[in-house]
């Protein structure tokens, strides 16, 4: 049985996350996903919108995932690989080279990310959207209503 492990925050779950998990499951028989805890995300300087317990439950519900474990430190990866007899450690290619030290325990691969999608981009878009004033939104809706009337 070929076991694969990956890690991530998985905040604002999107198609890029799903593609990663599907691709990893297609490479082996058993997929383990470490979901970063809220405390670990704070240490990394990340703010999440969704609490750890909910993010872990979302990831666990994905049919490609066989086991979800909490990720609470950078150092735990080596122990997780040994504990679960992992064959492949995999991450997105934005982490290229950062985990090569794990090659002495298993194969390490970096997969291409889904183009034009990332949690960071989604959060930036949401922030921009939420910064639009109510007056500007009302004006935009008024203009759309006038256009709709003209088309009738």
Catalytic residue annotation: 44, 46
Tokens of 31: 């997929």
Q: Report how far residue 71's alpha carbon sits from residue 56's, in angstroms, rounded to the nearest whole number.
A: 10
Which residue, among 88, 96, 104, has the nearest Cα to 6 in the 3D structure? 88
For residue 122, give the 3-state DSSP assignment: helix
Q: Chain-centre distance of CA 113, in angstroms?
A: 11
């Amino acid at each position: 049985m070929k076991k694969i492990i990956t890690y991530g925050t998985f905040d604002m779950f999107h198609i890029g996350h799903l593609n990663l998990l599907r691709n990893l499951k297609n490479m082996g028989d058993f997929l383990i996903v470490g979901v970063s805890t809220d405390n670990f995300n704070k240490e990394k300087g990340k703010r999440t919108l969704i609490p750890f317990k909910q993010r872990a439950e979302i990831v666990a519900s994905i049919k490609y995932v066989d086991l979800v474990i909490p990720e609470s430190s950078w150092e735990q990866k080596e122990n997780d690989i040994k504990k679960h007899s992992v064959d492949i450690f995999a991450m997105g290619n934005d982490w290229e080279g950062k985990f090569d030290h794990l090659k002495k325990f298993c194969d390490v691969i970096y997969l291409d990310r889904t183009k034009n999608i990332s949690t960071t981009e989604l959060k930036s878009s949401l922030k921009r959207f939420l910064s639009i004033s109510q007056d500007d939104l009302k004006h935009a809706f008024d203009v759309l209503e006038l256009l709709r009337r003209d088309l009738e």
